[in-house]
Amino acid sequence: MDQELNTDIQFIKGVGPKLGEKFARLGIRTVGDLLDHYPRKYIDYTQAYPISQAPFDIDCCVKAELEKVEPARRIPGGRTLQKALARDDWGFLTITWFNNPYAAKKLVPGETYFFEGRFGGNLTRREVINPLIRTQEEVDRQPLVAVYPATEGLPSSVIGRCVGRVLPLADTLEDPLPEEMRQRFRLPEKSWAVRAIHAPTQPQDVAQARRRLIYEELLTLQLGIFLMRGRSSKATGAPMIGYDPAPFWESLPFSPTQAQRRAAGEIFGDMTGRPPMNRLLQGDVGSGKTLVAAAAVWLAARNGYQSTLMAPTEILARQHAETLDKLLAPFGIAVVLLTGGMKAAEKRNALAAIADGRAGLVVGTHAVISDKVTFSKLGLAVVDEQHRFGVRQRNLLADKAHQPHLLVMSATPIPRTLGLLLYGDLDISILDQLPPGRKPVKTWFITGQKRRDLFGFLDKQIAAGHQAYIVCPAIEENQQDENLQAVTTYLEEVARPLLPHRRIGLMHGKLKPQEKAAVMEEFKEGKLDILVSTTVIEVGVDVPNATVMVIENAERFGLSALHQLRGRVGRGSAAACCILISDNQNDSVRQRLHFLCQTPDGFAVARYDLETRGPGDFFGSAQHGLPSLHIADLATDTRVLSAAQSEAKQILEEDPRLVLPQHQGLADRVERLFESVGPLN
């Protein structure tokens, strides 16, 4: 059975190498992957509308008698056009096909058909282009038809045909859920659920199959998370005693917020406990997470331990090193920077200081988890902007010492309930206050027609002594999307022509680390008025004099990403603003952007983003070290996620490594779900 499920997708009848490449774009490489590619919705042909009642501009189905089919004809551009007319007792339907000369070949005037598509026209005469067409016999045989997530050159109908060819293999699927568990939760068998999700005979089948498959996937997810994060019940390798933080707070030129004091107190409590700390520090942009991390470093140093902080970019690592050096220098704690872009001599000196203990805090990028780095006495590992790192990278950092304390920080707000479920073995501290003097950033939404006026506004801001960011979604021109603004051409064709007398710099991910650092330094020192950049500046860059953030093609970003970018300005005493530019006419897109204009609260933004855009903006292998899910939705399936988490904890208490026979199926599913992330233990 496993051998058949592992068969390459191209060997399914009717696929072949070329179509196999298109399947691969959807992550479908084997027969098993195809069975795991679940429908996104269904067309219910039993709910067909009369022609005159078909709703406009949404996918729906009409049942009508075909009256006549016109011959296909050529139209300008070398395309073919063919029309047909259908009717019922309430109206007429015009059917049009472009470049599809065989679509009407088997249709018989006088027969009744089901037409599915998006309908236009008026109340008595509707129109539809390139509809899906089925006979009464086909509808009787399969009243519900699955619609699959598709890609260019691989429509849902082709995916559905391929699924139909392999669906008999569902009967051979082994069920990973123990029978006792299925009975307790009243869940159907795996083979039935897979058949029902792809080819249901009634709507109730879909609901029952989804419930079963969502539970299995979330249970697998939670087991994998617990196995990967492996919170140890053993004693920490860095036992510490508590100290009054008053000397640290008193050394600051400002007063910390109550939220910062509270979070630091929670962290101190963890670091002086028996098990190692495993804490997530969440806070909106500008809430002062770095200061809380500095307090933790201070406590580790008082206990004779080194600390390390890993940041996702060299720019951010350098900035953290500067900030933390100022905060920790009064206590004689040496801060050492370690990045991949450093010169060989600098790197040798840094490695030596880390190895002999002179470095009290090591700030760096992925370089800090390289094999060459040996700590003298590491007690605390801090990961900043944790959504940029996979779980394995965090674990590699923690592996640099025996059971060190771990603090992960994130400015990507996640609703607390969801955070507790996702980071089930991490305690969570939330910074829900902004430091005194931080003003909300005003946000506006405009179209490209106002771009010239915008640049006049930028000119006035620069004349007043301020600076601005302009963010574009791409580095180079995209031939497939002419409307996508790219930094390389935007600089020369838009920014410089409209502001020829201003100093404008360029920043993007393809620049070498030294080039990025040089451009950022120029901007921080005020030698550049405007920085045209990709989202490489999204995380953590701090230039207090920057008061304007302009975001081109704002519809291309999730709200949480836009909120992160907005947080790059307003870090000084002057009023700041964020201007979103989009010519997209989609109502839901415009509604999202208007929502951001009205809402400064990052957690409200996160909730809205999860509800309207789905969890992909937060969760996925690339961002969180979590695998992509096939059917469960972390935004809406939180009750099932909670039940799955409780069950996962009980299973692992009984069988910590999933080696018992009744858990073998679950172990296999965990391995398969997390195979893109890496080894589990």
Asked whether the beta carbons of 567 and 441 are under 8 A apart, the reply is yes
Higher-pLDDT residue of 184, 411: 184
**Mean pLDDT across 99-125:** 87
Split at pLDDT 50, 70, 90, the class of 398 is low
Max CA distance (Å), the chain? 91
Q: Let me know: does 124 contact 91? Beta carbons within 8 Å.
A: yes
What's the average model confidence in pLDDT over 664-673? 87
Gap between the Cα atoms of 600 and 386, Å rounded: 22
What local confidence, expressed as pLDDT, does residue 623 receive? 38
pLDDT at residue 626, as a whole number = 58
Tens of pLDDT along 49-80?
A: 999 998 887 788 999 999 999 988 888 877 88
Contact predicate 507/538, CB 8 Å? no
Give the pLDDT score at 618.
Answer: 45
**Model pLDDT for residues 532-544, shown as the tens digit of each residue:** 998 877 555 678 8
Say yes or no to pLDDT of 611 above 70: no
Least confident of 579-588, 644-653, 667-676: 667-676
Q: Is residue 128 very low, low, confident or very high in pLDDT (cuts 50, 70, 90)? A: very high
pLDDT above 70: percentage of residues in the chain: 88
Pairing of strands 378-383, 132-135: unpaired
Tokens standing for residue 442 = 């005003």
Average pLDDT over residues 398-406: 80
Q: When comparing pLDDT for 552 and 287, which is higher?
A: 552
In terms of pLDDT, which residue wins out, 626 or 665?
665
**Residue 630 or residue 111, greater confidence:** 111
Residue with the larger pLDDT of the pair 233 and 273:
273
Q: What percent of the chain has pLDDT over 90?
A: 49
For residues 480 and 410, the model is more confident at 410
CATH number of 442-599: 3.40.50.300
The reported pLDDT for the residue numbered 233 is 54
CB atoms under 10 Å from CB of 73, counted, come to 10
For residues 520, 313, 330, 525, the Cα torsion angle rounded to the nearest 10 degrees is 0
Please tell me the predicted confidence (pLDDT) of residue 151: 83
Residue ranges with strand state E in 371-514:
378-383, 405-410, 427-431, 442-446, 467-471, 504-507
| Pick among 3.30.830.10, 3.40.80.10, 3.30.390.50, 3.40.50.300: CATH of 246-431 | 3.40.50.300
The whole-number average pLDDT for the span 483-503 is: 86
Instruction: Scan for tokens 């069950």, then name that residue.
Output: 647
| Between 105 and 463, the higher pLDDT residue | 463
Is pLDDT of 379 > 80?
Answer: yes
113 with 86: CB under 8 angstroms?
yes
Q: What is the pLDDT of residue 480?
A: 42
More confident residue, 454 or 153: 454
546 near 574, Cβ under 8 Å? Answer: no
On the question of pLDDT at 192 being above 90, the answer is yes
What residue ranges of the chain are covered by domains with CATH 3.40.50.300? 246-431, 442-599
Query: Phi/psi at 39 (nearest 5 deg)?
Result: -60, 150
The boundaries of every CATH 2.40.50.140 domain in the chain are: 41-147
- End-to-end CA, the chain: 27
* 41-147 homologous superfamily: Nucleic acid-binding proteins (2.40.50.140)
pLDDT band of residue 264 (cuts 50, 70, 90) is: very high
Cα torsion through 410, 414, 417, 419, rounded to 10: -40
User: Is pLDDT larger for residue 319 or for residue 244?
Assistant: 244
Answer yes or no: are the C-beta atoms of 317 and 396 closer than 8 Å.
Answer: no
Query: Contacts from 269-273 at CB under 8 Å and sequence distance 24+?
Result: 270/405, 270/427, 271/238, 271/240, 271/296, 271/299, 271/300, 271/380, 271/405, 272/240, 272/241, 272/242, 273/236
Better-predicted residue by pLDDT, 237 or 481: 237
pLDDT confidence of residue 574: 87
Please give the DSSP secondary-structure letter assigned to residue 172: G
Q: Are 27 and 628 in contact (CB under 8 A)?
A: yes
Report the amino acid identity of residue 505.
Answer: G
What is the per-residue pLDDT for 624?
Answer: 44
Average pLDDT, the chain: 86
Q: For residue 455, how far is the Cα from the chain centroid?
A: 32
Range 124-147 average pLDDT: 90
Average of per-residue pLDDT across 205-220: 94
- So what's the pLDDT on residue 27? 87
What is the average per-residue pLDDT within 645-655? 91
Q: Which DSSP string corresponds to 489-541?
A: HHIIIIIHHHSTTS-EEEE-TTS-HHHHHHHHHHHHTTS-SEEEE-GGGSSS-
- The predicted pLDDT at position 390 comes to 52
Within 555-680, strands assigned E span: 577-581
| Helix, strand or coil, per DSSP, at residue 320 | helix
Q: Which long-range contacts (CB under 8 A, 24 or more apart) does 593-600 make?
A: 593/445, 593/554, 593/555, 593/562, 594/445, 595/559, 596/443, 596/445, 596/559, 596/562, 596/563, 596/566, 597/443, 597/444, 597/445, 600/440, 600/441, 600/443
CB of 335 closer than 8 Å to CB of 341: no
Segment 220-249 shows an average pLDDT of 82
